[in-house]
Structures are given as structure tokens and as C-alpha cells.
Structure 1
Amino acid sequence: MSTLTHGRSGRSFRRSALVLALGAVIASGAALAQKATGEIFGHAGANASVTIENTDTGLTREITADASGRFSFSQLPTGHYRVTSDGATRDVQVKVGTGSEVNFADKDSQKLEAIEVTGNAINPIDVSSVESSTVFTADQIAALPVARDISSVALLAPGTVRGDSGFESLGGGPLASFGGASVAENGYYINGFDVTNIRNFTSFANLPFEAIGEQQVKTGGYGAEFGRSLGGVINIVTKRGTNEFKGV
């Protein structure tokens, strides 16, 4: 009887372990999906209402800033947004894996003058993150005088060089080396899902080049969610539709 009881307990323990393992897989899958989004943060008036609207899809959200005026919208699909607070409006572009800062209030009351620099080809610095990353939008990619593949675009990021040509036959083309690491130490993601070939780590699931909405190149400082990559990370989100009808 004791042997039978012990056997049932063992099977019950294994079933519990299996349930926990499946839960961990599902949780990790949910975390992966977070990599295909961005964030809007900044300062407004104390306890002020802040509203954002995706001008492409009509998505809207509204929150209230805290007592010091800080606010943050997380898990936002990439695209163009209009941010409104107390009658003031700001237009901002949310890019994959980065935060875009919007300020309605001057945080430094001692500032005597301000210098504003504008441009449509400047990659804003995400002060909320310690990652070293570069984001290329679809418009920028279309204008770049490089070969139409993601490795050629990635080679434009600081700290990247073309890898050993001996690996190109495995990867199906040129591969980027990040910070002197092997081309087999990179990670590739599409819409938040790991598409790196787990057999040789030098190839990946590809997609039509015209389908790329944004390409983010991480060269250092990225989080543990990008596991199994000691070199760099190429993170891609595909193009999304809008509420406007368009034809060729």
C-alpha cells in the first residue's frame, strides 16, 4: 500500500511540474510579444489629464499624471501619436522597443533660455533606457543606398562590421558582427518572436523586405529577455494598416 501511495504521489508531482513548465512557456511567450511595442512618457501639470491618439488607427488612451506631473503610456503599438494635455498638443512617433519623451511643463524652473533643435532624420535619444540601439523606420530604410536585406541595414548601426564571409553560406547572405562577437551569437526577432535558427544560429526566418515597418538594432545594454544572444539583436516589426483607404 505504501508503494502504491508513493507511486501516485510521484505521478502527481510530475503532473504539477509539467503544469508549471507550461505556465512558464506561456508567460515567456507573453513577454516576447512586449518587444514589438514602444512607450510615451514625460511631464505635464500636476494631476493633469493626458490623452494619446494613434493618428493612423484611432487608438486612444487617457491617464492622469501624478502629483509631480509624471506620466507614462506603455505597451503602445508603433506609429504616429497625438498627445494632448490641458489644451496643448504634441505629435510624436513611437518606435519599436524605445520610449518617446513628451513634455508639457518645464521641469527646470531655473532655466533662463531654451534651444530647440528640430529635424526629420534625427534619432531621438531614449533617456529612459540604458540600451545602445538604433531604429530605422520604413521611410528611412527605403531611402538607404544599401542592399535590400536586414544585415545590410544593421551594418549602419555603430559598432557593427561585416562578419566572416565563411558563415555567409549558412546564413544565406552577409551577416553582421556586433562588438567583435561571432555572427553566430546574434538574435533575430520579428514582431517580438525569436526567429533565430536554433541549429546553427547563423540563419533566421526571413520576410519580404517591403514588409518591414521598423528595424531596431541593439548593440549593447539590452535586457535578459533577449536571451541566447551575446552579440547583437535585430528586432523587426512589420507594417500595419491604417484607417485610410489607399490604392496604387
Structure 2
Amino acid sequence: MKCKNLLFLILILYTFSASCLLHAQTKGSITGRITDKETGESLPGVHVLIKGTYYGAATSIDGAFTIPNINPGVYTIEVSMLGYKQVQNTGVKVTAGAATELNFRLESTVLALGQEVVVIGEKPLFDLEETSSRRSVSSAEIQNQIVENVQDIVATQVGAVQNDNEIHIRGGRAYENAYLLDGISVQDPLAGTGFGLQLSADAIEEVEVITGGFNAEYGQAMSGIINVRTKEGGATYRGSLAYKRDYFGSFDPGTPIIGTLSTKNSHSFRTDVAEFSLSGPEPVTNLILPALGVHVPGTFSVFGNMYALTSDTYLRTSARQLYSSTFHGKTFAPRQDN
């Protein structure tokens, strides 16, 4: 009788251990280490989350983390810590019975948590956690478009229409939109338009258009949100110079062929666009002070952009003389559109 009980107990223990081993083989895990991109030091207390699930972990004192018991599949891993850019690694494949290794190098930032996100891999077509209808246009996409300013970029988005130099989102009035520039509201308190959005397309890093379902953090808006982020300086000096016009010279309109491109014909608005931009390391803290033996911690960079547009618009008639109360009388007021 004792032998039968002993055999029954051994059978139960064997079955339990086999089921535990089988369960462990049907699950996967994600392990890795998170360090600072500049110093290479380990970062403790970093939040590591699998988007769309409740699985996550926090890094230890040496920057290591482990997320066990994950069902096999493809996930997006989100890494965040205060003072650093949020990172999302898409297309991470978890295999049953194996540990997937992921290492991250976080880059510091002065923006609030979540305002700047670095995506590693391909951006997913749909964000399951997104509750608003938004579209982000990067500087690379802007360069491939024929646009001059923010209004032209927003007008190309779904749900937005430009009419009479005003932006209407989903049929709303122009003053029902909220305009943000680097996170700061530039709403005109009288007209309700974005008077601070007279920016060149070359000075824009990203334009985010939210056409519905926006969060409570955006106030004083009923139709949509237009959030513009300008460019920053880099480690090397770069610059650009451009000049554009909608006519060719000042030829007599009676001249064959060339006369059709003169400033006096009905097809020209006499529009001139001049643009200049320069970016790079800040010269005082990066060149002058180190030469004097003064070393300032951190790195500083600058970005500057100049954009000027003059036009007679659609009126096709020129005033004899224009006066400007802002730019010293008639010196900088040669066109009607001023």
C-alpha cells in the first residue's frame, strides 16, 4: 500500500514538472540593458513596457531588465525615463522558449516626457492606443512637396481646407483651430488665427495636424490642432540660400515669347521670395570660450532662418506709394501685399 502511494506521489510530481516545463517552453522573454547614449553609464529605474499589454519591467541598478512569460508574437517595446527621449522599438519578435535581447541607448532631452519619441524600425500603420485623428509631416516629406509655409502644409492633409488664406478643419471656422509653435500657443487673441505661423517650410522640423479626438491638454480648440516644431542646430555648420519669383526680368510685354514672362503681364503677381538659413554649433561656447580655457558643460547649437515675401497678389494693380508704420515709412513697403 505504501509503495502504491509513493508511486502515485511520484507520478503527480512528474506530471506537474512536465506541465511547468511545457508552459515555460510555450512562453518567451525579453531581456536587455539600457545605457546613456553620451556617457555609456547604466540607467536604473527606466520603464520598459510592451505596448498593448500589461507586461513591463523597470531596470535594475546596472541598467538590466527582464520581461518573462510573454506569448509568442510581434510587439512594440516602449522605453521611457524622465529627462530622456522616449524610444519605441517596433517589430520585436518573441519566440517560444527563447529570450529576445534588446539593448537601448537613450538620448537626453530638455522637453517633457513623451513630447519627443524616437522610433526604431518601421512605424506601424495603426496605433491601437491612439484615440485622436492625427497626421505628422516630417521635414523629409516637406522637402518633397511644393509648399511655401505652414498653411500650404496643413492644406494638404485630410479634413483640412485652405480658403481665402484661412485654414478650415472639418468644416469648422478658422478661429476654432489651436495653433502651437514648439509647444507654445501662438493664437491671435482677436482674430483667433495663428499669426505666429508665418514660417518658411525650410525652418520646420515637423508639423502635426490633429483633426479630431484630441486630448484635454489642448484647450481653446473645437475643430483641430496645428502643432509646429522648428528645426534645431546640429554638430556641423549648414546653410542654404534661395530666391524665387513668378516672373522673368522686366521685359516689355510686346517682346515676342519673352514678353509673356515680364512683370507687366496679367499672368504675374510680381511675387518675390527670399530665404536664408544657417545652423550649427553655437560659436561662443564651442569655439571662443574653449580657446580661452573656459569649458562649458554640455553642447549648444543654433538655428536661424530669414524669410521674406513681397507680392502684388491678385489685384494686378500697383499703388504709387505705400507707407508702413512698422518698417520706417516707405523704405520696406514697395508692394501692395505689405
1:196 paired residue among 180, 184, 187: 187
Rounded Cα–Cα distance in structure 2 between residues aligned with 1:130 and 1:224:
12
CA contact (8 A) 2:78 2:86 kept: no
Structure 1 residues 183 and 247: CA distance shift in structure 2, 3 A: closer
1:205 paired residue among 196, 214, 222: 196
Structure 1 residues 75 and 201: CA distance shift in structure 2, 3 A: farther
1:130 Cα offset (Å): 1.2
1:247 Cα offset (Å): 3.8
Rounded Cα–Cα distance in structure 1 between residues aligned with 2:87 and 2:192:
34
2:33 paired residue among 49, 52, 60: 49
Rounded Cα–Cα distance in structure 2 between residues aligned with 1:216 and 1:230:
16
Are residue 86 (structure 1) and residue 78 (structure 2) matched?
no
1:189 Cα offset (Å): 0.3
Contiguous gaps of at least 5 residues in structure 2: 1-27, 49-56, 58-66, 71-76, 93-99, 106-113, 240-338
Rounded Cα–Cα distance in structure 2 between residues aligned with 1:81 and 1:139:
20
1:202 Cα offset (Å): 2.3
1:128 Cα offset (Å): 3.0
Where does residue 245 of structure 1 map in the other structure? Answer: 236
**TM-score, normalising length from structure 1?**
0.54
Tell me which structure has the larger Cα radius of gyration: 2
Larger mean Cα displacement after TM superposition, 154-163 or 122-131: 122-131
Contiguous gaps of at least 5 residues in structure 1: 1-43, 91-95, 104-117, 166-173
- Alpha-carbon displacement from aligned partner over 1:90-134 (angstroms, at most 9, x marks no partner): 9xxxxx95866668xxxxxxxxxxxxxx6xxx8854333212111
**Percent identity of the aligned residues?**
19
Structure with the larger RCO, 1 or 2 (CA within 8 Å, 6+ apart): 1
Where does residue 230 of structure 1 map in the other structure? Answer: 222
Matched residue type, 2:80: F
Are residue 217 (structure 1) and residue 195 (structure 2) matched?
no
Aligned length: 168
Where does residue 174 of structure 2 map in the other structure? Answer: 183
Superposed CA RMSD in Å reads 4.0
- Alpha-carbon displacement from aligned partner over 1:17-57 (angstroms, at most 9, x marks no partner): xxxxxxxxxxxxxxxxxxxxxxxxxxx9446434574xxxx
Structure 1 residues 98 and 124: CA distance shift in structure 2, 3 A: farther
Rounded Cα–Cα distance in structure 2 between residues aligned with 1:234 and 1:159:
13
CA contact (8 A) 2:33 2:102 kept: no
Q: Which residues of 2 match residues 76-225 of structure 1 at below 5 A?
A: 86=101, 124-146=125-147, 148-163=148-163, 165=164, 174-209=165-200, 210-225=202-217
CA contact (8 A) 1:99 1:128 kept: no
Rounded Cα–Cα distance in structure 2 between residues aligned with 1:245 and 1:199:
41
Where does residue 19 of structure 1 map in the other structure? Answer: none
Q: Which residues of 2 match residues 63-74 of structure 1 at below 5 A?
A: 63=46, 65=48, 66=57, 67=67, 71-73=78-80
Query: Comparing both structures, which one devotes a greater share of its residues to helix?
Result: 1
- Alpha-carbon displacement from aligned partner over 1:192-212 (angstroms, at most 9, x marks no partner): 011010111024213531221
Matched residue type, 2:135: T
CA contact (8 A) 1:186 1:231 kept: yes
Structure 1 residues 78 and 131: CA distance shift in structure 2, 3 A: farther
Matched residue type, 2:101: D
1:190 Cα offset (Å): 0.6
Structure 1 residues 224 and 175: CA distance shift in structure 2, 3 A: same
Matched residue type, 1:197: D
Matched residue type, 1:231: S
Rounded Cα–Cα distance in structure 2 between residues aligned with 1:240 and 1:159:
30
Where does residue 270 of structure 2 map in the other structure? Answer: none
Rounded Cα–Cα distance in structure 1 between residues aligned with 2:179 and 2:82:
20
Structure 1 residues 239 and 80: CA distance shift in structure 2, 3 A: farther
CA contact (8 A) 2:179 2:227 kept: yes
